[in-house]
Amino acid sequence: MTRALNYLADKLRSLSFGRRDTLVCSDCFADRGLALEARKLGQISKRKCRHCNSEMGAKLDRAALDDVAENFFVRGSFVRTEFGGATVLRFGAWRQDSHREVRFPTWLDTDARLIENSLGIGFRYYGPPTWRLGEVEPLESLMHILA
Ligand SMILES: [Zn+2]
């Protein structure tokens, strides 16, 4: 519930999008796919990015960067099983005492760290309920009947 309210508040704030709301831009990212996703969700403007000084990158406020993280890292970690599927990653508010749980490959780690630091979040592994992966008693019973 809190996450949904924060999301709505961020979306409302993005309606009055301005320079001080820009966290990063699409040119800040080294990974080509992540940069493309950022370009798709960011706003094109000639303002300089305060992180990389690019004038050409699509500028991302908090809500847009949150969407980029969700689309690229969370939805991108979806694993399909025979009768279901679930994402492997989630992200949430960064806690002072927590360590980085997910170690990304070197070529992606800088980009992931930039998102984590900009949003004040941390990526975490997610253990989905087994029903999402297709472990459902009626289905298992049906499979025993058919076998
Ligand atoms: Zn930038």
pLDDT per residue over 22-69, tens digit each? 999 999 999 999 999 999 999 999 999 999 999 999 999 999 999 999
Q: Is the pLDDT of residue 123 over 90?
A: yes
CA of 69 to the centre of ligand 1 (A): 16
User: What's the pLDDT tens digit per position in 87-102?
Assistant: 999 999 877 667 888 9
What distance in angstroms lies between residue 97's CA and the mean position of ligand 1's atoms?
Answer: 29
Distance of CA 1 to the CA centre of its chain: 18
